[in-house]
Amino acid sequence: MLSTLRLLLRAGYKAFLSPTKSLVSYSQYAEDIIIYNLLKSLKKTKKGIFVDVGSHHPRRGSNTYFFYKLGWRGLLIDLEKDKVLAAKLSRPRDKVILAAISSKKKKVDIYSQKHFSTNTTIRKDTIDSSYKKTATVITKTLQEILQENKIPENFEILSIDVEGEDLDVLLGLNLKNYCPLVICVESWESKNGITSLLESPLHHHLIKNNYNLIGWSGLSIIYLTHEFNSAEKLL
């Protein structure tokens, strides 16, 4: 665990301190700049493809808008109509999907606190009296959506921010079929520190599927596929 922590810290320092030309972050915790510097070290910054699950606002707090501005394109997925409409207006080059994602098809209720809330969820066990039910939908798996929209198997960035449903989203994707280069996940486990994170089912699932933890910023954890994962070469 200590070697993982040392590697994580070194990767984080490199991501934040690498020379940049006044790069502007649109993410909550500069995840986009960390990922950009990681891809730059791999010589993978030319136009690529991203998939953004729980995309929320098309610009503010987005992990993918930075890359959109570089000429990349991708798939934005959110479970609220107003966020999908805003994305379609602001990012015409992207495909925008209205859907709730889970590991298998099921009927769920959507709960939100306010218009354009960052805390919209399908998890009834996490809400309080400030939430109201806004819709009932049938979920889809991420595998289905990627196949329907002809996303290539080896795309560059998968970003997931789904208010605690991150593992359930990933369980609906066969990582033997699809192998995003970088996976960035907002994980509630990260609130409790590195030990809790390294013991979490999410971390074990990604390790089992040939990903290594390479960065951590705020609530977001960043994994890199083993294809490029001689992480020591990046540092």
* 221 within 8 A of 35, measured Cβ to Cβ: no
Which residue did the predictor score with more confidence, 160 or 196?
160
Residue 233 clears pLDDT 80, i.e. is over it: no
**Do the bridges between strand 132-138 and strand 107-112 make them parallel or antiparallel, or are there none, so unpaired?**
antiparallel
30-51 per-position pLDDT tens digit: 999 999 999 999 988 889 999 9
pLDDT band with cut points at 50, 70 and 90 for residue 53: very high
Residue 10 clears pLDDT 70, i.e. is over it: no
The rounded distance, in Å, linking the Cα atoms of 67 and 199 is 31
118-170 per-position pLDDT tens digit: 677 777 777 677 778 877 889 999 999 999 999 999 999 999 999 788 999 99
Of the candidates 101, 42, 40, the one whose C-alpha atom is nearest the C-alpha of residue 67 is 40
- Which H/E stretch holds residue 75? strand 73-78
pLDDT given at position 175: 96
The rounded distance, in Å, linking the Cα atoms of 5 and 196 is 12
**CATH of the structural domain 2-99+142-234, one choice from 3.30.565.10, 3.40.50.970, 3.40.50.150, 3.40.50.1860:** 3.40.50.150
Q: Which two tokens stand for residue 143?
A: 């595998």
pLDDT given at position 228: 65
What are the sequence ranges of the domains in the chain?
Answer: 2-99+142-234
